[in-house]
Structure 1
Amino acid sequence: MIEFIRQVVLPQFGIDSVNATISRLGNGHINHTFFVTDSAKKIVLQRINTSVFTLPEVVVNNAAKISRHLSSKRQHNQYALQVVSPVMTDSGDLGLNLGTQGFWRAIDYIEYSHTIEVVTQVHQAEVAAHAFGHFASALSDMPSDSIVDVIPNFLNLPQRIHQLTQAAAGDTHSRLSTCQKWVDFVLSQTDILLLLADFEAKLPRRICHNDTKINNMLFDKRDMSSMAIIDLDTCMSGYLMYDFGDMVRAFCSPEPEDSTALNHVYARPEIIISATNAYVKALSTIITPLEKQSLWLGIKVMALMLGTRFLSDYLSGDVYFTIEHPQHNLDRALNQLTIYQSLVKQEPQLISLFN
């Protein structure tokens, strides 16, 4: 793929392909991402997974709209983070559609940026949570219907549980016997569906990031301050509780999301407390009392939902998430469902934080 990028893709983005250096970047589950540099510029190049994002033109158009909105905010001193902007092709397009050879797009590379995969310090959680809250606050005056949903029902727990039910019933890869008790556990969580439906009927819809993992916030490697929010592919209309929940779900465990050391996987209360305080502070001028109350539910829902998605993909033969070994999605599922169990266990001690 590297030589294809060099010979076919880079010339379309004004890169000196002969002298360019190309290396893989990050460990995302969906897109293929590369860091490209020549003597004149540095860019992040991505091949968008069109099996997941079936309308890649919509993805890049949404991202460009958000980038323009945030850039305007920054110019008026209303947004403190840097803005990741698209790099146009030489023909002035946001992306390069090469048919069976992929849909490619490029974005700015931010100098001195650094990502982490696991939160190891309370301070990291505070910095990232404030940045994601600041991002949401800056988008709060952008109409929620001004961008297109790229994956309808992306964060729909009832549908995800239905998909798990279907995957288990079909058992097309004869894997159900290895995870039956976990499937049964997910299907037993009916009370959370009723509570979720009640909240969703009352909450305001906002433009949300929908993938608020720690590695989607760039730290400044010089002082570990926040630099930028990246990966805008799943930005869609939604609820703050999902963005917050996904963020804390990803922050709170001391182990990576595919760790099999389940005895070390739990929701660290100090991380939850610090992230909550920082996120709410960044959103203090717009968040409603009901939205604040919903944040705890959001953490539980997102841990349960991601565990369910991993489990469904494992039963279906690993058709969505990239895997490194046959048990990878099962490992991820058990990891997230263990976090969910830890959250439920700690609810009596933490729920008052959200009142």
Structure 2
Amino acid sequence: MIEYIRQVVLPQFGINAANASISRLGNGHINHTFLVADPTRKMVLQRINTSVFTQPEVVVNNAAKVSQHLLAKQKVNQYLLQVVSPVLTESGELGLNLGEQGFWRAIDYLDNSHTVEVVTQAHQAEVAAYAFGHFASALSDMPEDSIVDVIPNFLNLPQRFSQLTLAMSGDAHNRLSSCQQWADFVLSQTDVLHLLADFEAKLPKRICHNDTKINNMLFDKRDMSSMAIIDLDTCMLGYLMYDFGDMVRAFCSPEPEDSINLTHVYARPEIIVSATNAYVNALSSVITPLEKQSLWLGIKVMALMLGTRFLTDYLNGDVYFTIEHSQHNLHRAMNQLTIYQSLLKQESQLLPLFS
């Protein structure tokens, strides 16, 4: 793929391939991402997974609109982070459709940027949570109809339960016996569905990031302050509880997302407290009392939902998430569902934080 990028893709973005270096970047589950550098500039090049994002043109158009909105906010000092903007092709397009060879797009690379995969201290959670809250606050006045849903029902827990049930009933890859107890546990959590439906009926919808993992917030490696929110592919209408919940479930464990050292996988309360206070503070002029109450449910739902998605993909033969070995999705599912169980055990202790 590297040679194809050098010969075919880079010239379309005005890069002299002979003088460019190309290296893989990050560990995303969905797209293929590369850092491209020549003597004059650096950029991030991505091949968008069109099995997941079936309308890649919509994806890049949405991201460009979000970037434009943030830049306008930045100019009047209402957005204090850097903004990652698209790099246009030589013909002025946001993306490059090469048919069977994929849909490609490029975005700015920010010098001195640094990503964190696992939160090691409460201060990191505080910095990142404030940045994600600041991002959500800046988007709070962006017209709802300005962007298009790229993955309908992306955060739909009842549908994820249904997909798991279907995968279990077919068991096309004879894997159910290796994860029956985890699948049964997921399907026992129907009380969450009723509570979720009640909240969703009352909460305002907002344009949300929808993938608020710690590695989608860039730190400035010079002082470890917040630099930028990246990966705008899933920016869609949604609820703050999901953005917050995905962020905290990704922050709170001391182990990586695929660790099966389950005795060390748990939701660290000090991380949850730091992230909650920072996020709510950043959104103080926007967030409603009911939205604040919903944030705890959001953490639980996102850990349960991601665990369910990993488990479903494992049963379906690993057709969605990129894997490194045959048990990878199962290990991820076990990890996330263990976080969910840890949250349940600490509910009485942590719930007052959200009142």
Structure-2 residue corresponding to 1:319: 319
Deviation, structure 1 residue 39:
1.1
Secondary structure class of the residue paired with 1:245: helix
Tell me, yes or no, if structure 1 residue 242 matches structure 2 residue 242.
Answer: yes
Secondary structure class of the residue paired with 1:298: helix
* Distance in structure 1 (CA, Å) of the matches to 2:306 and 2:143: 27
Contact 1:25–1:34 (CA under 8 A) maintained in structure 2: yes
Structure-1 residue corresponding to 2:219: 219
* Distance in structure 2 (CA, Å) of the matches to 1:102 and 1:190: 40
Deviation, structure 1 residue 145:
2.4
Instruction: State the TM-score, normalized to the length of structure 2.
Output: 1.00
Structure-1 residue corresponding to 2:12: 12
* Distance in structure 1 (CA, Å) of the matches to 2:108 and 2:27: 18
Q: How does 1:170-249 map to 2 (within 5 A)?
A: 170-249=170-249
Please give the per-residue CA displacement for 1:145-167, whole angstroms capped at 9, x wherever unaligned.
22000000000000000000000
Deviation, structure 1 residue 92:
0.2
Please give the per-residue CA displacement for 1:187-206, whole angstroms capped at 9, x wherever unaligned.
00010000000000000000
Instruction: State the TM-score, normalized to the length of structure 1.
Output: 1.00
* Distance in structure 2 (CA, Å) of the matches to 1:187 and 1:68: 42
Tell me, yes or no, if structure 1 residue 3 matches structure 2 residue 3.
Answer: yes
Letter in 2 for 1:94: L
Number of residue-to-residue matches in the alignment: 355
Deviation, structure 1 residue 69:
0.1
Secondary structure class of the residue paired with 1:309: helix
Letter in 2 for 1:327: Q
* Distance in structure 1 (CA, Å) of the matches to 2:172 and 2:229: 39
Structure-2 residue corresponding to 1:297: 297
Deviation, structure 1 residue 16:
1.0
Q: How does 1:70-89 map to 2 (within 5 A)?
A: 70-89=70-89
Deviation, structure 1 residue 40:
1.3
Letter in 1 for 2:318: D
* Distance in structure 2 (CA, Å) of the matches to 1:148 and 1:139: 15
Structure-2 residue corresponding to 1:336: 336
Deviation, structure 1 residue 266:
0.2
Secondary structure class of the residue paired with 2:258: coil
Structure 1 residue runs of 4+, over 2 Å off?
none
* Distance in structure 1 (CA, Å) of the matches to 2:224 and 2:352: 31
Structure-2 residue corresponding to 1:282: 282
Structure-2 residue corresponding to 1:121: 121
Contact 1:43–1:106 (CA under 8 A) maintained in structure 2: yes
Deviation, structure 1 residue 143:
1.9
- Among the aligned pairs, what percent are the same residue? 83
Letter in 2 for 1:111: D
Letter in 1 for 2:130: H
Secondary structure class of the residue paired with 1:333: helix
Deviation, structure 1 residue 112:
0.3
* Distance in structure 1 (CA, Å) of the matches to 2:153 and 2:15: 38
Please give the per-residue CA displacement for 1:23-68, whole angstroms capped at 9, x wherever unaligned.
0000000000000010111100000000000000000000000000
* Distance in structure 2 (CA, Å) of the matches to 1:21 and 1:49: 23
The alignment yields a C-alpha RMSD, in angstroms, of 0.4
Q: Which runs of 5+ in 2 are unaligned?
A: none
Secondary structure class of the residue paired with 1:18: helix
Structure-1 residue corresponding to 2:43: 43
